[in-house]
Amino acid sequence: MFGVILVVQVVHYPLFRLVGTDTYVPYHAAHMTRITWIVLPAMAVELLTAGALVAWRPALLPAWQVWTGLTLVLFIWTTTGLLQVPLHRTLADGFDADAHARLVQTNWIRTAAWTLRAGLVLWMLAPLLDR
């Protein structure tokens, strides 16, 4: 999800403002359908694996690492539901410059959380790579 969020945040969301007003609504609807096929399964797997690491923590990993990983995932799901989903609902009715600006701004929260999570996951993998 780290790679996906970077593409969405840096490339895709900023380009919403360049879509013509006559094609924006179908464009946004297509975006929501297509991106959901990518992000929902990936986010679900991420949530399940983060939970599994807490439930069945490998001895090599400190408890704080797996709990931090799960906390970041839950934070991402929460911000998605509380910030991004309502803004996308507003944008589904037509381009709204304020909603778009808030979408881009608040999505930096998820981008930062997924960046931290990616670093944490790499850190958790490091002991396995040393073997």
Query: What's the per-residue H, E or C state across the chain?
Result: CHHHHHHHHHHHHHHHHHCCCCCHHHHHHHHHHHHHHHHHHHHHHHHHHHHHHHHCCCCCCCHHHHHHHHHHHHHHHHHHHHHHHHHHHHHHCCCCHHHHHHHHHHHHHHHHHHHHHHHHHHHHHHHHHCC
Domain boundaries, the chain: 2-12+24-125
Does the CA dihedral 41-46-47-49 come out positive or negative? Answer: positive
Tell me: pLDDT of 131 over 80.
no
pLDDT digits (tens, 9 = 90+) for 9-53: 999 999 999 999 999 999 999 999 999 999 999 999 999 999 999
The 10s digit of each residue's pLDDT in 42-98 is 999 999 999 999 999 999 999 999 999 999 999 999 999 999 999 999 999 999 999
Q: What is the pTM of this model?
A: 0.93
Which pLDDT belongs to residue 111?
98
